[in-house]
Structure 1
Amino acid sequence: MTSGLRVERFKMSDPTFDTSSPATGDAGLPKVSIYMPTRNRLGSMQAAVRSVLGQTYREIELIVVDDGSTDGTPAWLAEQARLDPRLVVHRHEEGRGACAARNVGIRAATGFFLTGLDDDDEFKPHHLASLVSYWQLLTGAGDDPSALYVQDELRSGGPVAYTHKIGRATAEMMLNANQVGNQLFAPRDRFLSAGLFDEAMPAWQDLEFFYRFLKMHGPARLLDLPSYVFDVTPRPDRISSKSKRKVMQACELMYAKHGGDQRHTLQRLLLEQVFSDYYGFRPDLADLRRFIGLGWWPRGWWRMARRWRAGGA
């Protein structure tokens, strides 16, 4: 295996792990459930499904939630589920949105561990085996991370690039940037206790959920391996939104839910997230005035003013 880690019969200090439970696979290893929402992306979805069913770690359950597809997705998924019982399909006759589909998949999962996959991304063959092995290594050494995350291989049709995520992610760090990416790997019960994805968020669904997750369960740890293939090709059908209106709405909701009494929280969200290089938005004069009016923060004012000037305002 590429990571150099070996999966043995699973051992955990957690007394709730029962090797005779449905969360355990036939080999006595913990079952990993993967949830994946999809809608009208037959080609990329097929590659995503195959990347999961082809994992070197075999004790898996892939839950695909078809959110009202009108292309060949339903027929193809039905045939694949007939061929491989590890694939479980749920279908919405009408689209309810990606977050609703994710939540259906999470609730339906029966594995001990849980993680997600977007329908235009892929797992490298060793992705799940490496995560289970690393979790086993950490817990065996007395460490108890809330979750794990990995580096991403970024594909856009040009040269392949890689992320450089930090080794430890906390809830506080998520206010400056999404340090995790778009997937966590953790025991399923932690996803449930964190409250699932907020279906009312117009954007930042991952960011908001991961913030709640890390706030409740503590820091997550990085497995420094680029085993998740993240498609960043610009396309109009992306789930992630780069509409300034939606991102600003998400920022306001994030602050309303989690701002509390933390100083400069809304200013940090605006400066580090909304007007970051990721979105490419530049503040206009109204944005700058509002930012200054939110509170005394000379350093933040100066940085926001620089971004305003860079936009040619």
Structure 2
Amino acid sequence: MNQNDLVSIYIPTHNRCELLKRAIDSVLNQSYSNVELIIVNDGSSDSTKEYLDTVLSQDCRVKVVNLPSPSGACNARNIAIKQATGTFITGLDDDDYFLFERIERFIEKSYLLKKYSFISSATVFFHDLGSSQKVVATGFNSLSNITLKNLSKYNVIGNQVFTYTERLKYLGGFEPKLAAWQDYDLWLRLVEEYGPGRNIFDESYYMDLSPQRSRISTSEKKLGGIRMFLRIHKDKLSFYTISKFNAFLYSKGKGKFNLNPVFIMYLILYKLKGAL
């Protein structure tokens, strides 16, 4: 296998030192070793900085940026993207992890980037039970070619892609003003600029959905982010998608009533189920 192409991997982190160790180990132990791991410590107040000092001293492939105060995951990711020097780039959340051969498999398929804007994979969702893990589902594995039309319906990609670093830099990375769906926003812009993406269906990204994890959920912050997302991408999203999420916002007291049948159908569902 050709190890000439450097792959930049970014991890933003905030107060998740124990989980971060699992994420970092999964990167540094990849079968494809020519990686540059950029970790942005987003103002953590736990033992993250001390741990990262140790990692930094032990592996020359690691770069660390310590921010004095929290600035948000998007800003942290963008700092890493700006510093990335690899030919290719991908990301990892601090509570998730890669399988051993994830980067190798992407490199083997990197020729696809001559035709496609990015490569993505399936995602395995699991619950961390402490001494073991329970896989609860596998997702983002229904489409091979991912077009703007596919994305107009919902995020069919997930939270990570593998692409040329220069592409994410050109697009300016993630939108820090969005409080939700920042990845969906970037994927739409990526496909709009560079064309369809390609899913290789490799089950190599493990996402931790344990109930105890801190997530935005249906908070005021997320609701505002959804409203902004819909405004930004109203010309790209399908009527179905806009109606669906406007109904969700209305069910949370943050939108306007609409008489179209799709809106009403989803409004009834949201009222019955009480969740997105």
TM-score interval (norm. to shorter):
0.7 to 0.9
Deviates more, 1:64-73 or 1:246-255: 246-255
Cα deviation, residue 244, structure 1: 4.6
Distance apart, 1:197 and its partner CA: 0.8
Structure 2: stretches of 5+ with no match in the other structure = none
What stretches of structure 1 of length at least 5 have no aligned partner?
Answer: 1-6, 10-26, 276-280
Report Cα offsets for 1:74-102 as digits up to 9, x if no partner. 11111111110001000101111111100
Give the aligned partner of residue 107 of structure 2: 132
1:277-311: CA deviations, max 9, x gaps? xxxx8936x6796132xxxx43x145225415634
1:271 — aligned with what?
244
Q: 1:283 to 1:144 in 2, by over 3 A?
A: same
Q: Is the 8 A contact 1:194 1:213 kept in 2?
A: yes
Aligned to 2:134, the other structure's residue is in SS state: coil
Q: Which residue of 1 aligns with 2:258?
A: 291
Task: Name the counterpart of 2:123.
Answer: 152
> How large is the Cα RMSD of the aligned pairs?
2.5
Partner SS for 1:129: helix
Distance 2:87 2:57 in 1: 24
The 8 Å contact of residues 12 and 39 in structure 2, kept in 1 or not, is answered as yes
**Alpha carbons 1:170, 1:214 under 8 Å: kept:** yes
Aligned residue for 1:290, secondary structure, equals coil
Q: Is the 8 A contact 2:247 2:255 kept in 1?
A: no
Higher gyration radius (CA) = 1
Alignment-derived partner of residue 218 in structure 1: 195
Instruction: Report deviation, 1:236.
Output: 4.9
Give the aligned residue type for 2:242.
Answer: L
TM-score (norm 1): 0.78
Report the counterpart of residue 164 of structure 2 in structure 1. Answer: 187
Match of 1:176, as an amino acid?
K
Q: CA 1:79 to 1:250, structure 2 compared with 1: closer, same or farther past 3 Å?
A: same
Runs of 4+ in 1 over 4 A off after TM superposition: 286-289
Change (3 A) 1:172 1:107: same
1:43 CA displacement: 0.6
Within 2, Cα distance between the matches of 1:261 and 1:109? 30
Letter in 1 for 2:54: E
Residue 222 of structure 1 and its aligned partner are, at CA, apart by: 0.5
- In proportion to residue count, which structure has more strand? 2
Which amino acid in 2 is paired with 1:222? N
For this pair of structures, how many residues does the alignment match?
A: 268
Q: Indicate if the aligned counterparts of 1:282 and 1:307 stay in contact, CA closer than 8 A.
A: no
| Corresponding position of 2:55 | 80
SS of 1:291 mapped into structure 2: coil
Alignment identity in percent?
A: 29
Give the Cα separation in 2 of the matches to 1:54 and 1:274. Answer: 45
Which residue matches 2:8?
A: 33
- Separation in structure 1 between the aligned mates of residue 169 and residue 273 of structure 2, nearest angstrom: 42
Which of 241, 264, 269 does residue 307 from structure 1 map onto?
A: 269
